[in-house]
């Protein structure tokens, strides 16, 4: 299982690779990457609403690199507080900010400075900066108060985490009892070899850190969630260099998953 990296794995090297990759996406989203990006991909592969994306700044939508569509998992209600725990340039976050309305809050946390700068600019361009807050932070240690969030959005994040139980534990910590997790992430059909799990390049490619569906269920349940179920599946790597390298052999895909924080 890829709940944690193999012994001897260089976590800091992985973090540097991830930071460098998404810094490049922030600075030039049209560059050469192993994954799809942008609003056309979001609409054609992940079934985002084209009209809704057209209303958002290009600053956010051009840099979108998610693997699923958490907005198809469940509703976001007016007045709620939503956290996107690796918000990137903010496309999912701005969609949430529109739904929570002027009485709600949309908090984005991201590790990459260039992505945070894009998210701040996109919120300003969208006229949503009165309800959007961007914070610097890591998904292993979220700068968010306990039990303060109604919905957590997660899009292509857990597969990148060296310590997945800790990441999901942080999500559970910040959610109010009964709060919802709308998670989109990569899954593999079969367990990877230890050599593949130990390859930082494959981790950064969103492959080596991916779980099987059964492992993902186990992880989310253990973190403090009930009502865990998959809502939808996507072929997010179709036509990419990642598919050509390993994804087809492993039958890699992405899923939308719903889970509810235990408690009342």
Q: Is the pLDDT of residue 1 over 50?
A: no
pLDDT of residue 42: 96
**Bridge partners, residue 174, by sequence:** none
pLDDT confidence tier of residue 10, bands split at 50, 70 and 90? low
Q: Is the pLDDT of residue 2 over 70?
A: no
pLDDT, average across residues 210-232: 94
Q: Is the pLDDT of residue 6 over 60?
A: no
Of 56 and 215, which is predicted with more confidence? 56
C-alpha–C-alpha distance, residues 261 and 264, integer Å: 9
All domains in the chain, ordered by first residue? 11-68+77-261 (3.40.50.150)
C-alpha–C-alpha distance, residues 8 and 174, integer Å: 31
Burial profile 6-37: b = 16 or more Cβ within 10 angstroms, e = fewer: eeebeeeebbebbbebbeebbeebeeebbbbb
pLDDT of residue 210: 82
Exposed (0-12), middle (13-18) or buried (19+): which is 136, by Cβ within 10 Å? exposed
Q: What is the pLDDT of residues 21-51, one digit of tens each?
A: 878 888 888 887 778 899 999 999 999 999 9
Kind of pairing between the strands at 175-187 and 225-234: unpaired
pLDDT of residue 56: 98
Q: What is the pLDDT of residues 93-127, one digit of tens each?
A: 999 999 999 999 999 999 999 999 999 999 999 99
Token digits for 143?
């700068």
pLDDT confidence tier of residue 77, bands split at 50, 70 and 90? very high
Cα separations in angstroms, 76 against 18, 34, 95, 131: 29, 31, 10, 14
Q: What is the pLDDT of residues 222-258, one digit of tens each?
A: 999 999 999 999 988 888 766 655 555 567 789 999 9
Q: What is the pLDDT of residues 124-174, one digit of tens each?
A: 999 999 999 999 999 899 999 999 999 999 999 898 888 899 999 999 999
pLDDT of residue 28: 84
pLDDT confidence tier of residue 82, bands split at 50, 70 and 90? very high
């Amino acid at each position: 299982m890829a709940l944690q990296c193999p012994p001897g794995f260089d976590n800091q090297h992985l973090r540097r690779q991830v930071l460098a990759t998404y810094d490049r996406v922030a600075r030039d989203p049209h560059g050469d990457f192993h994954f799809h990006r942008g609003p056309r991909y979001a609409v054609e592969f992940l079934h985002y609403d084209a009209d809704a994306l057209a209303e958002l700044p290009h600053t956010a939508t051009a840099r979108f690199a998610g693997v699923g569509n958490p907005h198809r998992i469940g509703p976001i209600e007016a007045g709620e507080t939503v956290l996107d725990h690796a918000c990137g340039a903010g496309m999912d976050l701005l969609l949430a900010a529109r739904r929570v309305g002027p009485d709600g809050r949309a908090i984005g946390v991201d590790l990459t400075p260039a992505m945070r700068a894009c998210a701040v600019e996109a919120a300003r361009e969208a006229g949503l900066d009165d309800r959007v807050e961007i914070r610097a932070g890591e998904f292993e240690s979220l700068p968010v108060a306990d039990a303060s969030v109604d919905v957590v959005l997660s899009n292509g994040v857990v597969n990148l985490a060296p310590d997945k139980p800790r990441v999901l534990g942080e999500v559970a910590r910040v959610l109010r009892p009964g709060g919802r997790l709308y998670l989109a992430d990569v899954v593999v059909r079969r367990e990877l070899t230890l050599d593949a799990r130990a390859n930082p390049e494959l981790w950064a490619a969103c492959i080596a850190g991916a779980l099987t569906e059964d492992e993902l269920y186990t992880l989310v349940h253990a973190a403090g969630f009930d009502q865990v179920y998959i809502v939808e599946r996507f072929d997010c790597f179709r036509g990419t260099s990642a598919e050509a390298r390993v994804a087809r052999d492993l039958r890699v895909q992405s899923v939308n998953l719903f889970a509810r924080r235990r408690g009342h």
